[in-house]
Amino acid sequence: MSTGTSQFKLTKVTPGYWRLTFENPPINMIDPQSMLELQELLSQFETDPELKVVVFDSADPEFFIAHFDINKTAEMSRTPGPTGYSPWIDVTLRLSRVPVISIAAIRGRARGVGSEFALACDMRFASLEKAIFAQVEVGSGLLPGGGAVERLPLLTGRARALEIMIGSGDYDAATAERYGWINRAIPDAEFDAWIDAYARRVASFDKQALATTKELINRHTVPDPNELLETAKVSCRRSPGRASANAPASLPPPASASGVISSLTLAIASQSCETALGGLARTTALPGSIPPKPGGTMTVTIPQTGLQLRSLITRAGQLELSLIDQPVPTPGPDEVLIRVEASPINPSDLGLLLGPADLSTLKVSGTAERPVVTASVPEAALRAVAARLDHSMSVGIEGAGLVVAAGSSPAAQALLNRRVAAMGEGMYAQYCCVPAQQCTTLPDDATAVDGASAFINPITALGMVETMRSEGHGALIHTAAASNLGQMLNRICQAEGVKLVNIVRKPEQAKLLRELGATYVCDSSAENFMADLTDAVAATGATIAFDATGGGKLGGQILGCMEAALRRSAKEYSRYGSTTYKQLYVYGFLDNSPTQFSNSWGMAWSMGGWLLMPFMRKAGPVVMQRLKDRVARELKTTFASHYSAHVSLAEALQASAIAQYSRRATGEKVLIVPNRD
């Protein structure tokens, strides 16, 4: 069976033996997309219970992996991988550690990062006549920063490693075998059959015995990741230079169109020093100031305390919203401290902020700088919030701002002095501590306002499409579709060719979506809503829905229309309804009334909840990194958010502001700017 990503064709020869064929024309260059795909594939290796051996080969007989595509350096991910290290170090570390045997089957050129990838594999076999190896960085005025410095001497010895790297020349497979660079060189006519036979033999052995043997050998042969990081840091300091005038005549200049000069170091030196390796030379203490960004002059003083918005419901049945002075926290090893510059009020925030309070009883007291809001909570509603009674709670689950202090881990240090979007608890505050893995570095031209809503809505919209695909559905239905989230979902589906049925509540919302290019829009206030929805479901084949309303009859109506659409093509009658599985996920409660439905959709259906955090845990770090990187790239297009008002923390507690954001109306999202007076 063959599947895969855009650059790697995955062939599952047997459950225990997979082949990955790299194809990135014209000359098989590694680029940022390659790294993301490798990270995602490694997650499959790490979790598959039957996989024992993976063979990496190339679709191009002239190039195994030519080099890193330096033209795409600006696209390098700024997000650390699951190991906490930059993407390339993350890939090579995980490849060395994964409890699966990795084999590089090398036919064609493996230079620079191509050689370094092969070195990270457990074994290397090469075509005797067609494989060529080189570490050419030094001859180009660079340093090998992708693992060759650590791994090659372990195989060839010090003297030959120096010969290879300092000489920067090409080596044939016979010499590479003699030096220990590869396991063996095999005549090309026998190469494929030999590799296949060896991999099948390995796949026939016990998985635990293979994994344990690899783990024991790793204790003596796998480089320390901190040494890899230190080499990359030194490579960064050595700025890209011109090729030496004394370099071998056969060595092309760095800009050669043939593309044989390979260097991940170029990518590291030009961009990743600050992003993938960030902060190795930086130190931060609280309280104090952060060092300026290289080339900049910015300095931020961290105060002892900062304002934070708190929500309290008392046992006496009163909601109280207030601002308190909170000590600025010190980040742990894997955390960062953010000076929050913008944080949206999402519908999901209102449940904690306002709870079940009766807003008709709302009163505002205190001062303009420190308002205090109170409102009555009906006695019948107290039981539902019993666990939070008399507990003052921080509010706000996402926002954006400047990282002004960071913990000691590489992932945290990489974010220091960066403007990030983040998801965390208590973002309605001037300062907030957040795990580094819950941050995304914003593009240089993006403001905190641009990135304030870069998590909840974008990842929710992308998560819906990911869930649709992972559960085997081909199209989807979405309610409250004219919202910021709904508009993002429309742009995603249009870009990816996914059929989407939009459900709105007003004619003007339907008009808005059609103007944005939506094909299927159904207005639940229209008399012919059920017929329109059934027609749209029949046209798209949608069998999964995401409902933001929660209460009322809409969820049941959606399932009913799915069944009605399926019956149109039924070949025979069944009293149990269609056998096609129908899924309704409730992910919000814009309608607080009880959920109502009467089963008219047979037996093959399910209704349940869908929340962002469980999705993120299930998706895993590699998928989440891919999604976050996409959000960062398309922050001002696909994932752009709009706000009807910007308010300070104090202004957010004024009666007029509360009346506005508590309506949860489309187009009226409010943004809190915590550090604005």
Q: What is the mean pLDDT of each run of 10 residues along the chain (677 residues)?
A: 75 96 93 91 90 96 88 75 81 92 97 94 97 91 86 94 94 96 96 96 94 89 76 60 36 33 42 38 33 42 93 96 95 95 93 94 95 96 92 96 93 92 95 93 91 94 96 95 94 96 96 96 96 97 96 94 91 83 93 83 90 90 88 93 93 95 83 90
Cα 386 to Cα 358: distance, rounded to the nearest angstrom: 17
Per-residue pLDDT at 182: 97
DSSP-assigned states of every residue in 457-476: HHHHHHHHHHHHHHTT-SEE
Per-residue pLDDT at 439: 92
Give the domain ranges of the chain: 2-272, 305-446, 457-616
The yes or no reply on domain 2-272 and CATH 3.90.226.10 is yes
Per-residue pLDDT at 592: 80
Nearest in space to 427 (alpha carbons), one of 308, 598, 259, 286:
308
Per-residue pLDDT at 577: 84
Structure tokens at 494: 């249009």
Cis link prior to 223 (omega < 30° from 0)?
no
Structure tokens at 663: 């309506």
Predicted TM-score (pTM) of the model is: 0.59
For residue 529, give Cα distances in angstroms to 8, 380, 417, 508, 583: 45, 35, 52, 15, 20
Per-residue pLDDT at 2: 55
For residue 438, give Cα distances in angstroms to 80, 420, 616: 11, 10, 10
Nearest in space to 102 (alpha carbons), one of 38, 7, 172:
38
Nearest in space to 129 (alpha carbons), one of 179, 178, 185:
185
Q: Phi and psi at residue 367, in whole multiples of 5°?
A: -110, 170
Question: Contact, 495 vs 522, CB < 8 A?
Answer: no
> Which amino acid, 234?
V
Which residues have a Cβ under 8 Å from the Cβ of 469 and sit 6 or more positions away? none
**Cα 5–chain centre separation:** 16
Fold match between domain 2-272 and domain 305-446: no
Cα 609 to Cα 385: distance, rounded to the nearest angstrom: 19
Which residues have a Cβ under 8 Å from the Cβ of 159 and sit 6 or more positions away? none
Cα 409 to Cα 333: distance, rounded to the nearest angstrom: 5
Which CATH architecture describes the domain 305-446?
Answer: Alpha-Beta Complex (3.90)
Nearest in space to 587 (alpha carbons), one of 485, 436, 447, 455:
485
Question: Contact, 666 vs 503, CB < 8 A?
Answer: no
For residue 546, give Cα distances in angstroms to 429, 455, 465, 627: 31, 18, 10, 19
Per-residue pLDDT at 83: 76
Per-residue pLDDT at 280: 32
Q: What angle do CA 187, 193, 194 make, to 5 degrees?
A: 65
Cα 407 to Cα 272: distance, rounded to the nearest angstrom: 19
Nearest in space to 267 (alpha carbons), one of 228, 243, 240, 296:
240
Per-residue pLDDT at 538: 97
> Which amino acid, 179?
Y
Structure tokens at 437: 């893995």
Q: 147's torsion region: left (phi>0), alpha (psi -120 to 50) or beta? A: left
Cα 102 to Cα 580: distance, rounded to the nearest angstrom: 40
CATH classification (class only), 457-616: alpha beta
Which residues have a Cβ under 8 Å from the Cβ of 386 and sit 6 or more positions away? none
Per-residue pLDDT at 273: 45
